[in-house]
């Protein structure tokens, strides 16, 4: 499966919200809403598990996208992801990638391959 990197380096193609958007899988939305409610201590409904991917401007996004500083910054700088920014790694992405090794690995691979 090809990657669909979010600005922060997460792979949207593996996210249940993005998968359920593409497949219209209601059962996946229900399972994910229950799991995310448990994992993150916030009330998720199946309808909230619907996302076109971080870098796509129009269409549904999970709630966090609207408040994500990394996404806001990347969209303003018109970069596909943080690895393509001249300031990578900056203070904004630094703590995130320190705590999310798969995102760091994805961004580092992009940076190395450019």
- How many angstroms separate the CA atoms of 8 and 105, rounded? 11
Please tell me whether the overall predicted TM-score, pTM, comes out greater than 0.85 for this model. no
pLDDT, tens only, 1-46: 578 899 999 999 999 999 999 999 999 999 999 999 998 888 999 9
């Amino acid at each position: 499966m090809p990657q669909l990197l979010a600005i922060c380096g997460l792979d949207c193609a593996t996210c249940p919200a993005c998968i359920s958007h593409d497949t219209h899988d209601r059962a996946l939305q229900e399972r994910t809403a229950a799991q995310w409610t448990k994992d993150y201590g916030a009330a998720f409904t199946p309808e909230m598990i619907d996302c076109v991917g971080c870098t796509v401007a129009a269409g549904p996004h999970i709630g966090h996208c609207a408040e994500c500083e990394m996404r806001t910054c990347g969209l303003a700088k018109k970069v596909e992801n943080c690895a393509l920014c001249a300031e990578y790694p900056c203070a904004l992405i630094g703590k995130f990638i320190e705590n999310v090794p798969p995102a760091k690995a994805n961004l580092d691979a992009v940076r190395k391959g450019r």
